[in-house]
Structure 1
Amino acid sequence: MPLLDSLIARGAEGDPAFLAGAAATVAAGCALCATLYRLWLHPLAKIPGPKYMAISDIFSQWHHFISLDMSPYAIELHRKYGPVVRIGPNRVIVAGSVAWLQVYGVRGSSGVGEFGKTQGFLYPTDHMALLGAPWEDHRRQRRQLNHAFSVAALHEQEPIITQYVNRLMEELAARATRGEAVDIVQWLNLCTFDVIGDLCFGESFQGLEGNTTFVDNTFRMLIGNSCIRFLNQYPLLKIPLMILLGTKETKVALEAGKANAGLGKVKAQARMAKGDYEDGRRDFATYMLRKGKDGERGLSDAEVGALSSILVLAGSETTATALSGFVYFLSRPENAEKRRILEDEIRAAFADDADINMTSTGHLEYLRVFLEETMRMYPPAATMTPRISPGAEVGGYWLPQGSLIHVYSNAAYRDPANFTDPDSFHPERWLKPAHPQHDARFDSDKKEVFKPFSFGARDCIGKNLAYAEMRVIASRLVYNFDFKLLPGQDDWMAKQPNTLLWLKEGFKVQPSLHKKAVAA
């Protein structure tokens, strides 16, 4: 075979052109074989989805971490392909209608059979805190922290929370008196971050006093971390990606993350050094530092620091997001009648602003459904951290061990199969039949799909605090102010990018003091 002999000879002689061509041919052949396997023979090949995504993870990961539009894209994918969609060679998105029970609700003894977390997804040491901890560590940490989020602890923490809500109302009232428009998103962020800072570290971030550095850095950090998660998978793209995104902007984002991490570490160490307060004050650290019956602490210093960092972000930004959505829907002109119903309920329930607290707001039914509908339309955690299949059937498809599963809450909440008129704001869909505003056309809604704080053994430990805080702040906003949305902001919610959280811009409202607040 002269041709074969010639090729072997050229290879043996080290012909550069020949070697380069041979390498390219082999690489192309391997890529073709991998493509054919992933499209036709892979265990996930029967799952519907865009074919180009089945070939390589880079497409879905670009949506996840760079263009930051996977959340709205997931709505399109589910509507086109169904509840289980393949978005990578070994990666699927699963609608909440399936995932809550079949993925999040599954747990065997000692975590065997659990759809576990992907360690290092959020940051390198995320396995030390609740969100990424292995099952046994998660169970131990959760047992220690449960006391910090009990009903009794909530009442102990209320005075801490109230002082910052008071300050927020004072700042908004001052600007309303002067006739100034306000960026309500920024003010809500400053308030909730100050609250959680005090609960975690014994001192606020002083955002309501004008120091916005920590809050500003948080959102820069989210962008930087998102970029890093992508580059960890595709390091060869670092240079072109830096050129595309801008080296300066990316560097600023990463430095912001480092600054916040450093400040959080210093604050956590200072709080741990204080131990218990002499005046009997109790915050999250009080419970994290508690010793067990054996006299040993249940959490290490490293775990306390890691948990504090997680609690700061999870316990502030998500609450501020829900409240921002609340004010946005409240102030939209087309919701004028719904706003009137809510205002009547809250202003009739209280003779004075001082009467509004965690307990007294618990019976406000229309407020409850207004908040629920806000979180359906604008879920604070629209993206869940991925889970890993232990080898199980999900939605009628076998997902081999190691398959990655993503869930986008808003995809289930915007699915016409789950909710009537899913893209419109209707608080009455959540009301019981006895309520005068109940609307029977929403009776067939699959409300069990709605899980704004996740589901199962790893659901959000702070959901009771979040609901209580939202009820109080929302009630006091409505009781004291009338809000007018300034023109040109109708697309505020629609244009937001999303990483794990919404990267929301501010929006401006014109607050005016209501007559009851003026009289007080």
Structure 2
Amino acid sequence: MLNVSLSPLSGSSVVALAGALYWLGWCIYCIWFHPLAKYPGPRFAAISEIWFIWSWTTGRYPHILEEAHRKYGDIVRIAPNELSFATIQAHRDIYSTPSKTKKPFLKCGRFYNNGDVSNIFYELDPVEHGKMRKILASGFSGSAMKTHEHIIHQYVDIVTNHHAIGELTFGESFNAVATGQTHFWITILADSAHAAILPSFVRKAPVLVLVVPFMLSLSALRNLKKHYTYTLETVRRRLNRASSSSAERDLFTPVIEQGDGITETQLVSLAQAMVIAGADTVTTAMTTALYFLSTRPDCLAKLQAEVRALTYEQLNGVELPHLRYLNAIIEESMRCFPPIAFGLPRVSPGEFVDGQFIPQGVRVSAAHWVLNRNPSIWDEPYEFWPERWLSGDELSSQPVTFPFSSGPRSCLGIAQANLEMRITLAKLIHVFDIRAARDPVNMMWKKAPLMVHFQPRDQDDLGRTKEYLA
């Protein structure tokens, strides 16, 4: 009997060789034999999740993805088992409501994961999500919008959507107007935006679990704990007010009234997510609108003429939906800089997407940033051109931009967001003359200050603004 023994060195060599052969075999399979091998894309993306992760960590993912689509076409392979689409039909196929003949594309668990704590944003089960959505829906109804509108008016003379969303969600203010400072709760959210994506990186590439802890500073960890503690205290105060007959209804009221089966931890998670969804997206749209208006005097003049034809008191939820140019400005702002620029990943059930059969288990998405800049969809896609949304006396039949997504997982707060944006922009333009103070900067991970000169146009408006903020 032949006795063969391996030295530690030769054993290590065998392991290394086996690993190298496995990697080589994996690369060969992904590039030539994988079901997605026929789709073009960066070669490194075909064999590893690292291309996707690198693109995100640069803070330029939407731009990098746009460049990839410009080079490779409307379907790009962005990971070994993931495709990005750049057509409106693809967006409809992926995100629209399923039917008897069309199975649903479920949320991707690698991306949407909140541990054991479930809420409407992270819930993967469509049945459970439907139950949660039904509970929250009454808080965003037409009658609820009328109830909430005075809160928006209270803070809207300065762009303080974060301040308003605090009272809309919790029934108490962040006091940003009174102090002139952004509340630390919002600051921490902005500062930790880059860290929020790290868990999904680990799920995509488990080896990164060895690296991620070194990407988080001790201060970041302390801030996250501080953020959670403050949210917990705020939720508890809101729960204590729930028994008061004089408590005003807010977005949390339907959740509290439902009560059964919702834990305190779930309420905290929901509160964090609602403030992000309700404040950050609206702020992005308003920042975009103010930037373009401050650099495009022709557009600004048209909006001023339309808005200032009304009295200040007429700038409300009843009149503003009828201002065509105001709504065109908002639509075009969300097209140019969509609040959610990246694609929201879904898992194919084995269905067609824009005429292509996508095997079961493949991750798919359609990024708003890419869709909104596709020259085969839009005329002059890189131009801020509100008139594209106007045609005679009607809104133009332009392609949709899906700023709030579509289908059963679309944003519940569409009406709330539109109300905030219309009132905010209309009142600012009614009261102030504006102009840009500096060039734009990259705001992928964190919004830098948008430096704009605000000049009150007359003393009556200045006095009214001061009175409103008092």
TM-score by length of 2: 0.91
TM-score by length of 1: 0.82
CA distance in 2, matches of 1:200, 1:356: 23
CA distance in 2, matches of 1:36, 1:196: 51
CA distance in 2, matches of 1:263, 1:254: 14
Contact 2:81 2:362 in 1 (8 A): yes
- Structure-1 residue corresponding to 2:122: 132
- Structure-2 residue corresponding to 1:497: 444
- Structure-2 residue corresponding to 1:87: 78
CA distance in 2, matches of 1:462, 1:71: 24
CA distance in 1, matches of 2:429, 2:243: 37
- Structure-1 residue corresponding to 2:171: 202
Contact 1:54 1:86 in 2 (8 A): yes
Q: CA deviation at 1:40?
A: 0.8
- Structure-2 residue corresponding to 1:273: 240
- 2:60 corresponds, among 54, 65, 69, to 69
CA distance in 1, matches of 2:454, 2:80: 51
- Structure-1 residue corresponding to 2:256: 289
- 2:415 corresponds, among 446, 451, 464, to 464
CA distance in 2, matches of 1:153, 1:458: 21
Contact 2:351 2:360 in 1 (8 A): yes
- Structure-1 residue corresponding to 2:5: 13
Larger deviation, residues 46-55 vs 99-108: 99-108
Does residue 331 of structure 2 align to residue 356 of structure 1? no
Pick closer, same or farther for the CA change 1:38–1:120 going to 2, 3 Å: closer
Aligned length: 460
Q: CA deviation at 1:235?
A: 5.4
**Paired residue secondary structure (1:447):** coil
Q: CA deviation at 1:359?
A: 1.6
- Structure-1 residue corresponding to 2:91: 100
Pick closer, same or farther for the CA change 1:127–1:74 going to 2, 3 Å: farther
Pick closer, same or farther for the CA change 1:83–1:242 going to 2, 3 Å: same
Does residue 453 of structure 2 align to residue 510 of structure 1? yes
CA distance in 2, matches of 1:67, 1:280: 45
CA distance in 1, matches of 2:97, 2:462: 53
Does residue 111 of structure 2 align to residue 121 of structure 1? yes
Q: CA deviation at 1:232?
A: 4.8
Q: CA deviation at 1:96?
A: 4.6
Pick closer, same or farther for the CA change 1:254–1:99 going to 2, 3 Å: farther
**Paired residue secondary structure (2:434):** strand
- Structure-1 residue corresponding to 2:403: 452
Does residue 361 of structure 2 align to residue 416 of structure 1? no
Q: CA deviation at 1:147?
A: 0.7
Query: Deviations along 1:136-181, whole A, 9 cap, x unmatched?
Result: 1110111111111011000011122222225x3xxxxxxxxxxxxx
Letter in 2 for 1:458: R
Pick closer, same or farther for the CA change 1:192–1:430 going to 2, 3 Å: same
Contact 1:220 1:257 in 2 (8 A): no
Letter in 1 for 2:297: A
Query: Deviations along 1:14-33, whole A, 9 cap, x unmatched?
Result: 21221122212111111111
Does residue 427 of structure 2 align to residue 476 of structure 1? yes
**Paired residue secondary structure (1:381):** coil
**Paired residue secondary structure (1:200):** helix
- 2:386 corresponds, among 423, 427, 442, to 427
- Structure-2 residue corresponding to 1:336: 297
Q: CA deviation at 1:236?
A: 4.2
- 1:252 corresponds, among 214, 219, 241, to 219
- Structure-1 residue corresponding to 2:467: none
| Percentage of pairs with the same residue | 28
Pick closer, same or farther for the CA change 1:276–1:476 going to 2, 3 Å: farther
Larger deviation, residues 119-128 vs 135-144: 119-128
CA distance in 1, matches of 2:147, 2:97: 34
**Paired residue secondary structure (2:461):** helix
Query: Deviations along 1:290-331, whole A, 9 cap, x unmatched?
Result: 24xxxx748554443332221111001111111111110110
CA distance in 1, matches of 2:37, 2:361: 15
CA distance in 1, matches of 2:141, 2:135: 11
CA distance in 1, matches of 2:268, 2:208: 33
Contact 1:223 1:253 in 2 (8 A): no
**Paired residue secondary structure (1:405):** strand
Pick closer, same or farther for the CA change 1:120–1:209 going to 2, 3 Å: farther
CA distance in 2, matches of 1:233, 1:45: 19
Larger deviation, residues 471-480 vs 508-517: 508-517
- Structure-1 residue corresponding to 2:350: 391
Larger deviation, residues 25-34 vs 206-215: 206-215
- 1:374 corresponds, among 333, 337, 345, to 333
Contact 1:53 1:86 in 2 (8 A): yes
CA distance in 2, matches of 1:139, 1:518: 47
